[in-house]
Structure 1
Amino acid sequence: MQTQSTSPLTVLIVEDEPKLGQLLVDYLQAAEYQTHWLTRGDQVVDYLHANPVALVLLDLMLPGKEGLAVCQEIRRFSDVPVIMVTAKIEEIDRLLGLEIGADDYICKPYSPREVVARVKAILRRIQRPVATVADSGPLRIDEARFQASYQDVLLDLTPAEFRLLKILSTEPGKVFSREALLNMLYDDYRVVNDRTIDSHIKNLRRKLEALSSETPFIRAVYGVGYRWEADEAN
């Protein structure tokens, strides 16, 4: 099932419930996005290999392949933003979605207007035209390409991890509270908690330390938040 509008931005909807899928199509088209709607998890990767999309709305429980497994596969070849949609309310499920590379999650039942707001917020951030390249010792952040490298090795970061890296490394030594980091990462009205930041920091640390295990990139300040220390160490 495929529907199109005049917008060049395509949102891939992966939802097996017909009423919800059509509702998302209708609201996203009204917001002037192009849409493509799939109903099975095992259709997603092949579609993404063949078609450029701006964002993926990915249901957790799908026939063919579950959403978490699909998200893991997507992250092996693409950094396209992924919003997980789930009826599971347990915090571990939400965090698991973030840890395997999702950029956001929405819980069912949801307001379709909220879904559109989340889509707009993520696309607004990643499409912001910035032409600067920041160098901080061996760390290089290219905002125009939304890429970061360390010692000339490209880091495979999610959009949330990229923004966290930029925020922290821009002001080395400064302690950012979890609340401040959440506010800088998410400028819409979602409800998230401190553990979301901890999950992103854990993944970002792991990717950085894989390139330089002896460098203290990000230091946790007990009871306060996090600070960037790599510049001072270098």
Structure 2
Amino acid sequence: MTQILMIEDDLELAEILTEYLEQFDIKITTAHDPYIGISTLDTGKFDLLILDLTLPGIDGLDVCKEIRKKHTIPIIISSARHDITDKVTALENGADDYLPKPYNPRELEARIKSHLRRHTLSHTPQESVCDLILDEYQMSITHKGVPLHLTAAEYGILSYLMKKEGGVVSREELIYNCEAINEETTNKSIDVIIGRIRQKLGENPKSPKHIHAVRGVGYKFLK
């Protein structure tokens, strides 16, 4: 279940949102006092924070700034303050989104899911293979710290081989598992694409470092 902390002093709104989001397997923990909210976030495990700006004792913009110093959690500002200065300051202080009140709870639910997807992807560990680094979120591969300029087909094949590191991959497997490659692509075309990738890696096809041909089958990637 998704765990969300809400720092909100409007008890009626907090109750409405809590009941609505429960149906989407989202549990809301509400802190009506900002200082208690900060303490709760420090001691608990939450996936996202919903933060009001007009709070007792301390402005929500300052709360946002303090929280961002210690946490990478996505922050959605939920506020009746529509001034553009507040919106800009909130984003500069580390907020990920600003949702002006009043709003439909359905929109909040959609934004929560969107930010959770982005947060999960951005914190997915990169796969490192020797001097090559594969970043699936950015759909990029760097070679010795330099980004490779790959076509969609080249990226698809090289990333697939890297993830299958050490295993033999047939040409047919590459054709059916790389989205950028048409299913009508021939085995010869795969060889041509492999040749282009080797050139970009600076490999000698007669004595390659990473991409090795397996006679009669396909290719395998080695560190």
The alignment's TM-score, normalised by the length of structure 1, stands at: 0.53
Partner-residue secondary structure (3-state), 2:6: strand
Q: CA RMSD in A?
A: 2.8
Instruction: Give unmatched runs, 5+ long, in structure 1.
Output: 1-6, 135-139, 145-168, 173-234
Q: Which amino acid aligns with 1:34?
A: K
- Tell me, yes or no, if structure 1 residue 12 matches structure 2 residue 5: yes
Residue 84 of structure 2: which of 85, 91, 102 is its match? 91
**Residue 102 of structure 1 corresponds to which residue in structure 2?**
95
Distance in 2 between the 1:141 and 1:46 partners? 38
Q: Which amino acid aligns with 1:113?
A: R
- Tell me, yes or no, if structure 1 residue 31 matches structure 2 residue 24: yes
Kindly state the Cα deviation for residue 64 of structure 1 after the two structures are TM-superposed: 2.6
Structure 2 matches for 1:201-220, cutoff 5 A? none
- Tell me, yes or no, if structure 1 residue 132 matches structure 2 residue 126: yes
Change (3 A) 1:63 1:143: farther
**Residue 77 of structure 1 corresponds to which residue in structure 2?**
70
The CA deviation string for residues 90-118 of structure 1, in whole angstroms up to 9 with x for no partner, is 11111110000000010011111111111
1:44–1:70 Cα contact (<8 Å) kept: no
Q: Which amino acid aligns with 2:52?
A: D
**Residue 111 of structure 1 corresponds to which residue in structure 2?**
104
How many pairs are equivalent? 138
Kindly state the Cα deviation for residue 67 of structure 1 after the two structures are TM-superposed: 1.0
Partner-residue secondary structure (3-state), 2:99: strand
1:131–1:143 Cα contact (<8 Å) kept: no
Partner-residue secondary structure (3-state), 1:16: coil
The CA deviation string for residues 120-149 of structure 1, in whole angstroms up to 9 with x for no partner, is 100012223844358xxxxx99778xxxxx
**Residue 123 of structure 1 corresponds to which residue in structure 2?**
116
- Tell me, yes or no, if structure 1 residue 54 matches structure 2 residue 47: yes
The alignment's TM-score, normalised by the length of structure 2, stands at: 0.55
Name which one, 1 or 2, has greater alpha-carbon Rg. 2
Instruction: Give unmatched runs, 5+ long, in structure 2.
Output: 138-145, 150-223
Distance in 2 between the 1:82 and 1:66 partners? 15
Distance in 1 between the 2:51 and 2:108 partners? 12
- Runs of 4+ in structure 1 displaced over 6 angstroms? 140-144, 169-172
